[in-house]
Structures are given as C-alpha cells and as structure tokens.
Amino acid sequence: MNVQNIVVAGKSGAGKQPRVDVLVQTYGLRQLATGNIFREYLGTFNKVRGDAKTDGLWTDGKFAADSAIRQALSPACAKAGVDVDAAMLGFKAAQYVDRGRFVPDEITNALLAAAFRAGSGKGFVLDGYPRTPDQSDFLLALAKDCGTRIDLVLIVDNDDEAIVARTIGRRVCPNKSCAKVFHLEFKPPTPDGKCTACGTAVVLRSDDTEEKIRTRLAEFQSKALPAIQRLSAAGIPTVSVPGNLPVFTDQAVQDSVLAVVQPALRS
C-alpha cells in the first residue's frame, strides 16, 4: 500500500530511532524530527542575525506583525541569499530557545508546518511531534490541508528504569552533518570511541543526565501521552512495539516493527 505518514511516539530514550530507521527504509519515507527542524530554521536565522536589525520585533513576549518582521529581515536575507520566511521562523524560535524558555505550540506548529509543506509529496516519519493534544489537532488539520493523511501511530514502549539505563549509555556523533547515535552497550562506536560513519569522537549529550531524563519522562506522561490519545481518538490506528528486545539486532528490530505495522496498515 501507499504509506503516506507515520507518527513514531515514545518516551525520550525509549528507542525510537531504530524503529524510525526501519519505517524510513521499508516505506521510502523521510524522517521529520522536531529537533532537526528547529536546528534548520535557527541555522537559517543565524546566517542573518548579525546583520539584521531585530530591535523592537519582540517585546514582552509579543512579536511585531509578520510584515514588520519580514521587512526588518529582508535586506540581510537578500544579501545572504536566504529565504525570508524561513529566517522569520528561525527568529521567532530563537527568542525562546536563546532564553531557555519553553517554545509555545504556535511557534513549534509553524516550523513543523513549513517543513511538512516543503516536503509535501513525499511521506514522513514524524518523530518528536505531536507532543501536546493541540499539536495533534494541528497535525490532523495540516495533513488534510496538504491532501495527505496520517496512516499510523507507532508507540515504542519502554519502562522508565530501562530508559534511564539506556540513556546514560547513549553517545552521539557531534559532527552536525552526521549526528549518528550510539549506545555503549547496544550499538557501540569504534573501540576507541569514534563514530563508525565519520570517525569523529562521540560524546555524551548534556541532556542525558539522570535528572533531565526523569523530567522528560514526567513530561511524556502529562503531555505527549494525551497527544497520542488524541490521534487515536481521531481514528488513527495505533500500535506499539517493545523498546527492549531479548536480542537487539537490526533484523530483530525490523521483524518486531513490521509484525505489528504491516497488519495495521492493511486493515
């Protein structure tokens, strides 16, 4: 069947990425990860931020009109050859990210929509989105508006203690064009701690401390789980796979994913 879009959900550290990889390869989809979307648009804004006059465009948590923001960013964007709308989205996200503040749904939705529309025609595996019930409603409306649909939600299920153990062992490739993820036990880097794809020394992310992991686990319960329930209630088939497998090989991951995904897509 023609698979259009799949949402992969699960607690942070549950083991989503190997399942995303299976779906990308099996169904010819592309991964659309919120973290990458933020990096992309912030990167676009960063190309013009030194040159653009942004004073007065964000006051007391309120943005100036989009037309005023576009006008302010336009000269620097023209000079740098970047898209002004993309730079505006990056500018808006940066106001929260720079201050370490929670990015409101409205901004996250705008970034997701821009990336989703830019890639329309090719299906996505959504990862890290939706994370609130409002984002779920937004996604359903966006898919409809783009003439596509959400075929399935795949939940990667894992218990909290297993996640804490897994996450503390996680290492990432800091090379931005690679960003491969490893695990000291389950998917190790080279014996001398280098990325198997590009040879950069892998690192522990600052987000991967136990305290931060437990905060993210609590957020999953309070926000992301209701977001998934909203999609299920809207009639999107929802299946789950175990995050931990007795034997963790690529083949075992693929088998466990396709065993539940294929029947759900056919029904």
Compute the distance between CA of residue 265 and CA of residue 50 in angstroms, rounded to an integer.
48
Binding Zn ion (rule: CB under 5 A), the pick from 175, 229, 240, 256 is: 175
The continuous run of DSSP H or E covering 230 comes out as helix 225-233
Binding Zn ion (rule: CB under 5 A), the pick from 198, 203, 233, 234 is: 198
State the nearest-atom distance from the C-beta of 124 to Zn ion, in Å: 23
State the nearest-atom distance from the C-beta of 111 to Zn ion, in Å: 25
Per-residue HEC secondary structure of 104-168 comes to CHHHHHHHHHHHHHHCCCCCEEEECCCCCHHHHHHHHHHHHHCCCCCCEEEEEECCHHHHHHHHH
Sole window of 14-22, 116-124, 150-158, 170-178 interacting with Zn ion (rule: CB under 5 A):
170-178
Pair 99, 4: CB distance under 8 Å = no
Nearer to Zn ion, 175 or 256 (CB): 175
Q: How far is CA 17 from the centre of its chain?
A: 10
Rg (CA), the chain: 20
> Residue 195 interacts with Zn ion (CB under 5 A)?
yes
Nearer to Zn ion, 197 or 234 (CB): 197
> Residue 194 interacts with Zn ion (CB under 5 A)?
no
Looking at residue 243, the DSSP 8-state letter turns out to be S
Using the Cα atoms of residue 135, residue 140, residue 141 and residue 145 in order, give the sign of their dihedral. Answer: positive
Binding Zn ion (rule: CB under 5 A), the pick from 37, 87, 173, 261 is: 173
Nearer to Zn ion, 19 or 171 (CB): 171
Binding Zn ion (rule: CB under 5 A), the pick from 180, 212, 216, 223 is: 180
State the nearest-atom distance from the C-beta of 194 to Zn ion, in Å: 8
Bridge partners (DSSP) of residue 157 are 242
> Residue 54 interacts with Zn ion (CB under 5 A)?
no
> Residue 202 interacts with Zn ion (CB under 5 A)?
no
> Residue 203 interacts with Zn ion (CB under 5 A)?
no
Q: Which residues sit at the interface with Zn ion, rule CB under 5 A? A: 173, 175, 178, 180, 195, 197-198, 200
